Every structure is written in structure tokens, then in C-alpha cells.
Amino acid sequence: MRSRILKGIFAGCVAALMAATTSASAGPLMDRINAGEPIRIGFANEIPFAYPADDGSPKGFVNVFTIAVLKKMGYDKIEPVQTEWGGLIPGLKANRFDIITGGMNILKSRCENVAFSEPMAKVGDGFVVAAGNPKKITDYKSIADSGAIMVTGAGYSNIEAAKAAGVPEANIMQVPGPTEILAAVKAGRADAGAGTYFTVKQLADTTDGALEASDPDAMPEDSFNWAGIGFRKDDQDFLDKFNAAEKEYLGTPDMLAAVAEYGYGKGSLPGDVTTDWVCANR
């Protein structure tokens, strides 16, 4: 009898220890999901990456991609949260949302604060300039050499790229996002608006020929970046499962059909580059 009691106590302790270990390994996102809470996706108004529709629903190819991966994982209780670009990483760290879907480039400096998924897109930079490109702006070095004024979004990776090419900080105007970038170039306050080629092409297309996008092929190879989905570092358990589901979905006909309307095609696929490599080299 005493042996049975001891075995029962031992089994109960093992079960309790396993439950405690499982609970400890779960990040805050899994805790929210297990409590029946929605997965909150944070994004800024960054067409065509991620932006709100008129009814507030999440649009853009990064949102569409992320929501599809989450659904493949079995999660469809999702709450969109729009904020300014500069508030994405602080909002993630402050638990105001759970995932960044804004089309954020993976950078060494960001990897210190954010756990990124494996890359979901290869993204080249570009510039929106006056029609005819009078200052011959083709890359960041041409901005530095000409003394041109560049405008870009606060917190954009274009700031680091411009400084690395020798553009003085005084010649880099920072604004909240694409709408303000377009306004600054149209008004002549800036000579070039910097962003991803996806973004600047969309901006130029709204101006009836007054502005144009620079040639993306003129950009050096080392200016290309890779976009990923951002998670809190405490949510590595969820991120591992997300990466597994992403690997099965990325590049499939269903995925490419879902994002085609936003200008994402086969040429936008990230290739074999890993997040570890990007964090070390960008």
C-alpha cells in the first residue's frame, strides 16, 4: 500500500513538473491564445505592404501573407491594430500588439529588439523623384554627391543606408510615412523620396506623371533587403511554428495568387537567404 501511495505521489509530482515546464516555455502570445484572446497584428499605412481598408480590415501583401500562414496554423481570431511606422517596434515590446506585419526589413539593429520570421520577400530600395529625374538620382551615392535633400519615413531602413553612403544627416528629412514623403517631393521641399521600390512606384503612379520612380536596377546589390514578420523574443515558441507553416506556404501558387494584386511576383521571393544571415549582414 505504502509503495502505491509513494508511486502516486511521484507520478503527481512529475505531472505537475511537466505542466510547469510547459507553461514556462510558452510565450505571452500562446498565453493570450490559450486564454481565448485574438492575435493582434500591428502595421502602419504602408501601401502595398500593409495598410487598412476603408472598413479597417488589414490589406497589403504582408498582411495577406501573414493571415494566411496563421490560418494554416489553425488561428483565425485576429485583431488588426494600426499605428505609425515609428511605433511598431515600441508597440510590440510594450505588448500593444503581438506581431508586426508592416513589411519591415530585417536589419542587424532591429534584430536586437525583434525576433524575425524567416524572410518572406526580397525588397529593393527606390526613389520617387520629379519627372525626368533632373538631379539624376539613381542610388544613395548620387544623393550624397549632388547634395540633394532626401525625405523618408522616421525609422525606415533608408536612413541607415543613406548615411552609410555619405549623405549628411542634415540632408535627410524624416516624416511619418508615405503620404508625407510624397507631399515633400511634390512641393519641392525634397529632391528624392526614399522607400522600398514597391512603395515609391505606387506613390509615383498616383501623380499623373508629375513624379516618377527611379530605376531599381541601378541600385547596388548590397542595397537589397529582406522583409520578415516581427515577433517578441519571448514568443520564440510561436515563431518556430510560424516558420514551419511559412516554409510550406511561401512560393506556392495559392500564395502568389493571393499577393499578386499588390505587385508581389516570383521575383519578390526571398530565395535561400536566412534570417540569421540577414541579421548578421544587414
Report pLDDT for 221. 82
Which CATH number does the domain 125-223 belong to among 3.10.450.630, 3.40.190.10, 3.20.20.210, 2.40.110.10? 3.40.190.10
- Does 28-122+227-281 match 125-223 in CATH topology? yes
Cα torsion angle, 23, 81, 200, 128, sign: negative
Whether 127 and 193 have beta carbons less than 8 Å apart is answered as: yes
- Tell me the backbone φ, ψ of residue 146, rounded to 5 degrees: -90, -10
pLDDT score of 267: 85
| Cell digits of residue 149 | 535633400
Q: Which CATH architecture has domain 28-122+227-281?
A: 3-Layer(aba) Sandwich (3.40)
What is the pLDDT, as a whole number, of residue 222?
A: 81
Residues 163, 147: Cα–Cα separation, whole Å: 13
Q: How many C-beta atoms lie closer than 10 Å to residue 25's C-beta?
A: 10
Taking the model in full, what pTM does it have?
Answer: 0.79
Would you write out the chain's pLDDT as a tens digit for each of its 282 residues? 545 544 444 444 444 444 444 444 679 999 999 999 999 999 999 999 999 999 989 999 999 999 999 999 999 999 999 999 999 999 999 999 999 998 899 999 999 999 999 999 999 999 999 999 999 999 999 999 999 999 999 999 899 999 999 999 999 999 999 999 999 999 999 999 999 998 999 899 999 999 999 988 888 888 889 999 999 999 999 999 999 999 999 999 999 999 999 989 898 999 999 999 999 998
Looking at the DSSP bridge assignments, the partners of residue 43 are 82
CA pair distance 275, 121, nearest whole angstrom = 11
At position 9, the amino acid (one-letter code) is I
pLDDT of res. 25: 66
Exposed / middle / buried, residue 82 (Cβ in 10 Å: 0-12, 13-18, 19+): middle
- 48 cis-preceded (ω within 30 degrees of 0): yes
For cell 527606390, name the residue: 126
pLDDT given for residue 64 in this prediction: 98
Q: Could you give the CA distance from residue 282 to residue 188 in angstroms, rounded to a whole number?
A: 31
* 266 Cβ neighbours under 8 A, 6+ residues apart: 251, 256
- 141 exposure class (CB count in 10 Å sphere: 0-12, 13-18, 19+): middle
Residue 52 bridge partners (DSSP) = 58
* Entry field: residues in the chain: 282
Give the pairing of strands 125-130 and 211-213. antiparallel
Whether 225 and 106 have beta carbons less than 8 Å apart is answered as yes
From CA 68, how far away is CA 45, in angstroms rounded?
20
- Measured over the CA atoms of residue 167, residue 173, residue 177 and residue 181, the dihedral's sign is negative
- CA nearest to 43, candidates 128, 100, 89: 100
Q: Where do the domains of the chain lie? A: 28-122+227-281, 125-223
